[in-house]
Amino acid sequence: MRPGTEIVMTDAATRRIGDVDAYRRTLVAAAYRMLGTLADAEDAAQEAYVRWLRLDAGEREAIENPGGWLMRVTGRICLDVLGSARVRHETYVGEWLPETIPVGTASGDPAAVVVGAEEVSTALLLVLETLTPAERVAFVLHEVFAVPFAEIAGVLGRSAAACRQLAASARRHVGRRAGASVPRSRHDELIAAFAAASASGSLDALVRVLAPDVVLVSDGGGIVSAARRPVRGADHVARFLLGLAAKQPTATYEPAITGDGLGYAIRVDGVIVAAVTFATDGERITHVWMMRNPEKLSAWV
């Protein structure tokens, strides 16, 4: 079943206020893909529910498809947020990364278990960041959640034909930037080799599993220590990682499945301090994304 299938169901029983809560996880899933962080996604979904509750009983009864209505409202909210996101990112302390969510998290918060999280990689979210707000909303609503262009037109304030063009442009852009697909099994083999090399403490061993032009990006949000700029090159990245390990000798590295494949949760004294995900070219690791901002680690607790 596609992540958005349930959102287009039209059952008269869902018109009752209590029943629309069944759509919450799907709305959070859509907003997460549009905004890149779980907190923003939850806020957007919550605002959509607030607007639903502000309708009078007659207005709610007249809505034949509450899920579709909530999805459209969530899309409009996300469009507004994306309009200001670029400014927020420019004033962000250090490098900004989208939030990584582990697949099958044991978190007690149901909203943290984002629908289809295994399909959402850091790499994809970073590509979506390069789209215009309208392209991103059109792409997510249509390509992922199968919202018709006629309905997206109401979200973006454009014609259905224009929305179709936006989604097509976004799809081409995502396709160009996505790079070659690496089988998940091969990706995980390379990450396991990386873990072994890191554990050995050998600079040479670690350099061998990294691509010559590898890039490491660390997001601390100005809250915790992190590299303010990307670290580039196999030797520099290897030295950075080994230096970090030396500063945290009691840290434990727990394998975790993410949308990027195998990754690691780093804990110190049982407390999550970082989540690390990777991209590979099938031969070596090309990107290391290290999330250290505690505000973006809520799903890893």
**pTM for the predicted model, two decimal places:** 0.87
Q: 42-56, 100-114, 127-141, 149-163: which range is least confident on average?
A: 100-114
What is the reported pLDDT for 13? 39
d(CA 121, CA 301): 19
Q: Distance between alpha carbon 228 and the CA centroid of its chain, in Å?
A: 21
The per-residue pLDDT for range 250-284, each reduced to its tens digit, is 999 999 999 999 999 999 999 999 999 999 999 99
Strand-pair category, 285-291 with 210-219? parallel
What is the reported pLDDT for 57? 86
- Burial (0-12, 13-18, 19+ Cβ within 10 Å), 269: exposed
Categorize the per-residue pLDDT at 220 as very low, low, confident or very high, splitting at 50, 70 and 90.
Answer: very high
**Is the model's pLDDT at 227 over the cut of 80?**
yes
The per-residue pLDDT for range 81-103, each reduced to its tens digit, is 998 877 777 788 999 999 988 88
Question: What is the arithmetic mean of pLDDT over 279-294?
Answer: 96
**Is the model's pLDDT at 18 over the cut of 90?**
no
**Is the model's pLDDT at 243 over the cut of 60?**
yes
What is the reported pLDDT for 114? 62
Categorize the per-residue pLDDT at 12 as very low, low, confident or very high, splitting at 50, 70 and 90.
Answer: very low
- Tell me what the pLDDT averaged over the chain comes to: 88
The per-residue pLDDT for range 190-219, each reduced to its tens digit, is 999 999 999 999 999 999 999 999 999 999
What is the reported pLDDT for 35? 95
**Phi and psi of 287, rounded to 5°?**
-140, 140
Give me the percent of the chain exceeding a pLDDT of 90. Answer: 72
d(CA 104, CA 91): 33
Any idea what the Cα angle at residue 215 is, between residues 201 and 241, rounded to 5°? 20
What is the reported pLDDT for 215? 98
